[in-house]
Each structure stands twice: as C-alpha cells, then as structure tokens.
Structure 1
C-alpha cells in the first residue's frame, strides 16, 4: 500500500471512531429524556447498537459523495444531480432504519412526534431532521478529507522544491573548474619526466582531492575539518604551478565536527588561484583565514590582483557561489572588495539559523 493511501486509511478510521463516540454520547444523552423508564445500561446498549446501524447509511453516503466530488471528468451539472440523488436516497435510508428498526425493534415503541402524535415514515419534520444529521456528518467528512488532501499537496510541493534544490545544487557543484584536473595531470607528467621527488606526494594529494570531489561532495553535509583538509590538499597541488606564490592558511576552529555543505569554501580558493594569481609575475599571494566560534563561521580570503584579470569570468564564478549560498544558508553574508592591487572576500555563515537547509 502506498504511504499516502495508508495515511488516508488511518485518518479516516480515526475520524469514524471519534465520530461514533461523539454520536453515541449525544444519542445516549438524548435517550434519557426520550426513554426515561429505561435503565442507563439498556439505553447505553441500545445507543451503541443504533449508531452502528446508522453507519450502514452514513458511511456509503459519505464516500459516494466524495467519489463524485473527486471525479473531475463528471460535468458540474451532472455532479449536482448525482449529489441530490445520493442525499435523497440516504435520507430515505436513514428514515427507514429509524422508523422501522430503531423504534419498534430496539426501543420497542412506536415513533412519535414530540412524544404524542405518531410519526409517519416520511414527513417534513422528521425528513428534515434526518437530512441535517446526514449533512452534519458529510460536512465533517469533507472537512477532514479536504484538509488531508491540502496537507498532502503541501508535503508533495515541499518535496518537489527540495528535490529541485538538490538538483540545482548538484548542477552548481558540477560547474567547478574542470581545468584543474587537466592542469594538474600535465604538471605531474612534467614532474615525472624530471623524476622529481615530490611526484608521489602530489599524486597522493590529487587522489585525495578527487576522492573528496567524487564521494564526499555527494553528501549533503560534511565536517568542517574534512572540508579544510581538502582545501589544504588543493593548495599543495596548486603550488606546483605557482612556485612564486605565497600562500598562508590559518584556522581557529572551536568545533571541528561542525557540518557544512561540501565544496562551498574551496570555490573561493579556486577563484583566488584562477582569477587572481594565475598570470601574476610579481610577488603574488593568497591569505586564507578560517574561524569558527559558537556556531558562526568567518571565512576570509585575500589575494593579489592580476593586471589583466578576466573580470567577466570572475563574476560567473561568484554568481555560482552566491546561488549555492542562497539555497543553503539563509543566515549568511558575503562581501567582495575589489581594490587596486587585491581582492578581499569575506563570508560569514550562522549555522544556528533555522532556515538553513
């Protein structure tokens, strides 16, 4: 059975149990005035039996009306006609059960109006009473079912939004600079030709970075310590190409197990290498500071600026990062300062914000 159908069955079953208790209580209370000579035990027994009998009319009525209501292919005019037919049939059924079964067989008396005048099977007053009893029940059933459907629709919409966000985040993560792998492999190839001693270490670091990007990054959250370790491996690999580059990375973390979405922080480092120092001939630098205190992350990157930087390409990278942050962390601030000789980026994330994904 599908989960939403199981939920529907449970909700409707609970409704009928509560409705039965309510109707039994009201009829039992009413019976002490209608049948004062009966003991409370007899009145209670009769009440429980007659309410079960009424269910033979009420339950088919409720679900017949719901069935017609939910059939979108039935034209409105025909729907109203069916509603009338179903309700009229239910009123006749309700009256038949009341007049011919409840009074003569359960209570052993003849049905009367106001305890005096005998009541017929169908007349205006008793038919109206039956109609109101049935309509009250139908209103409750429709209220429960419409509320259930609205809640189910909200849950489905929420799930679709979540799936859409996950797909968008996956797509954004996949946009990380693919040239990194090719450039690194080319550099490793050059080192291998020279038989450089650092070659095995660089291959190991590249393996760690790729493993992180393929496996760890597939998770929604990862510990901050693992994310920082990946950044450090990335920096070590990049230093092969930028031997003139000065890189500092300081960290002050009070909770290394704090979870964060993978590949968010490293994109700022990639931008610093790609758009800030890749063609610098002078004393290029990148300074990174990561601080986590009381659930608030402060992440600062400052890097030297190229004389012929590709500003359009930089904007594309920042647009990607901003979109990911908007989806993941409502409680964040991101500032980018473009100075004459350097770029400064500062990101603050409040992990306590309840609106974060």
Structure 2
C-alpha cells in the first residue's frame, strides 16, 4: 500500500511538472500574436504567473473527478451529475479568473473576442474554450492514472504468479520420497544392533542429506556442485542399504558453480531406487552420467528393473518431476524409456535459456 501511494505521488508530480511546462510554452507562444508589442521577458513572466493560477483551478478539478470516479458508490446517473457539476463549476472559475484577473491585472487590457471587447466572463465561445482546456487536462490526468493503475495491477499479477509458482514448487519438493528416511533409519537400527563399523558413517551421511534438504534446498537456486555432492551422499547411503547394487557415477562439469534448482537431479535417482533398483530381484545396477558443458546439462540415468513392475506408481514420481521442470525450465528436454530390464532417462537443460522465471 505504501509503495502504491509513493508511486502515485511520483507519477502525478511528474505529470503536473510536465503539463505546467507544456502550458507555459503554448501560452507564451500564443502571446507573441496576442501582444506583439510586449517584451518577451514580460510575456514569459506573465505566462508563468497565469499558468500557476490556472494550475490552482485545474488540480482540484482533476482530483475531484478522480475521487468521484474511484470512490463513489452511488448510482451511475448521480455520478455523471456530480461530474457535470464539478466541470461546470471549474469552467465558471476558469472564466472568472481569465476575464477579471488575467486580462486586466496581468496583461493590463480588456479581454476581447474576435477583436471586440467581451461583454462578460460568460460567453458561448470563450466558455467552450475554457471547457475544452479543462477537459483536455482531465483527459490527460485520467489517462496517466489509469495507465499507472494498469501497470501496478500487472506487477501485482506477476508477483502473485511468481508467489504461486514458488508455493507450488515448495509443495512439489515436499513430496520427495519420505520412505528413504524411514528405510535408512531402519537400516541404521539394524546396523547398530549388529554393532557394524559402518554405522557412524551412515549416520553422518544421513545427517548431511537431511541438512541439505531442510536448509540449503529451500533456496530457489544453488550451485550444481552442492547438488551433486548431496546426490553422492544419497548414493553412499543407498549403497550400504543395497550391498549387491552396482553404481557407476560419471561426472564432468566445466562450471561447477552453475546454479540449478535444488533437488531436481536427485529425484530421478530416488525414482530409480523406488521403482526400479529396489524391485530388482537379481543383480541390480544404476548408471549415472552427468555432463555440464557451456551452460548445457546432459543428465543420463539407467537403472535395472523387473520385467513386470508392480503397478504404475512410477508415473506419480515422474509427474512430479515433469511439473517442476515445466515451471523452472520450460524449454528442457526429458525422455523416459522403459525396456524389459531397465529404465533410461535423458534430461537436457540449457541454462543459457533466459525463459525460466
């Protein structure tokens, strides 16, 4: 609300300054023909003064009309009546100021109309001229204010869309497989009962993964090397849980500090474990190739699966990932292939694309 008020003050102040300069220029130019014998310095001085007087008439008119237009809750007919009353009052004041103050006291002459002395401050033609002058000003201020409000509304809509997308992304991130934590804790419990030497290492890796998910993953973007490090910690824990699992992880990054949305990469791996590796009865494997070159990420995953997987639960995980990619990287490329014994995922993200919000 405060920013809206400040914006309105700045825009309207700029409008009146520019409008005043325009009116001074036009009246000064007109006075060359109306008062050819008057020195230009005097004409300029008179023009500056009289336009200040006109401004004191036009500004109340403008804001009275804006107030009636924006604030009134009465019927439309009565709104028109109020507006007409305000305009007629302003025209009368404008004519009085012109006829009785400007001409006799500033220019030192009697107001004339077509070379003849004006009989009074109310006359059809001069009143029409005053009316057009005031309406022109009112039209300008209404145009400025409506344009400002539309621009502000556009910014607010854009902000709401961004906030909505951020909330949706937060919800999608929160849907990351919670079974990993419970299963890992169960494994740690079993290892503790056996007094296995790897227990402290697993606890350390789990604490690193949880710290990343709770704190660092809340950022909108993070360097890809941190995301890859979290992925490696996750794989080390899974390697202990699945001792017969063969994991091959190749990485090649020419710009490790390239920013990426947290938890994008790990979700494909979680999906591989949840719907492939964990269901494989025989020898299971997981192959990951990650290459970042000139701002383009190539992410390839292959993992084992049973020939007849149980249900279609994998579609839910992929739907979540696809939605995040649509929001973050609209021009990404994602292909998922399923054969008799494996899943194959290929993801390409061009970080040079500026279309992401």
Q: Shorter-chain TM-score category?
A: over 0.9
Q: Kindly state the Cα deviation for residue 314 of structure 1 after the two structures are TM-superposed.
A: 0.2
Aligned pairs (5 A) from 1:161-200: 161-200=161-200
> How much is the aligned-residue C-alpha RMSD, in angstroms?
1.0
Residues 336, 343 of structure 1: 8 Å contact kept = yes
1:293-349 deviations in Å (ceiling 9; x for gaps): 111111010001124423421000000000000011012011000111111000111
Measured in 2, the distance between the counterparts of 1:37 and 1:156 equals 56
Partner of 2:76: 76
Q: Kindly state the Cα deviation for residue 71 of structure 1 after the two structures are TM-superposed.
A: 2.4
Aligned to 2:312, the other structure's residue is in SS state helix
Partner of 2:53: 53
Aligned to 2:297, the other structure's residue is in SS state strand
Measured in 2, the distance between the counterparts of 1:184 and 1:104 equals 95
1:223-266 deviations in Å (ceiling 9; x for gaps): 00000000000000011221011011111111000000001110
1:197-241 deviations in Å (ceiling 9; x for gaps): 111111111010000000011000000000000000000001122
How many residues were matched structurally? 357
Measured in 1, the distance between the counterparts of 2:45 and 2:254 equals 68
Aligned to 2:248, the other structure's residue is in SS state strand
Measured in 1, the distance between the counterparts of 2:119 and 2:233 equals 92
Measured in 2, the distance between the counterparts of 1:261 and 1:28 equals 61
Gaps of 5+ in 2: none
What's the TM-score, normalizing by structure 2?
0.98
Partner of 1:332: 332
Partner of 2:356: 356
Q: Kindly state the Cα deviation for residue 73 of structure 1 after the two structures are TM-superposed.
A: 1.7
Measured in 2, the distance between the counterparts of 1:74 and 1:352 equals 55
Partner of 1:120: 120
Partner of 1:143: 143
Partner of 1:238: 238
Residues 50, 102 of structure 1: 8 Å contact kept = yes
1:275-304 deviations in Å (ceiling 9; x for gaps): 001132211101001111111111010001
Measured in 2, the distance between the counterparts of 1:310 and 1:215 equals 34
Shift >6 Å, 4+ stretches = none
Aligned to 1:348, the other structure's residue is in SS state strand
Gaps of 5+ in 1: none
What's the TM-score, normalizing by structure 1?
0.98
- Alignment of 1:98 with 2:98, yes or no, is yes
1:39-72 deviations in Å (ceiling 9; x for gaps): 1111011000000000111000101111111125
Measured in 2, the distance between the counterparts of 1:65 and 1:266 equals 60
Aligned pairs (5 A) from 1:1-357: 2-71=2-71, 73-357=73-357
Measured in 2, the distance between the counterparts of 1:318 and 1:311 equals 14
Measured in 2, the distance between the counterparts of 1:86 and 1:72 equals 14
Structure 1 stretch displaced more, 306-315 or 134-143: 306-315
Structure 1 stretch displaced more, 7-16 or 272-281: 272-281
Q: Kindly state the Cα deviation for residue 37 of structure 1 after the two structures are TM-superposed.
A: 1.7
Residues 297, 348 of structure 1: 8 Å contact kept = yes
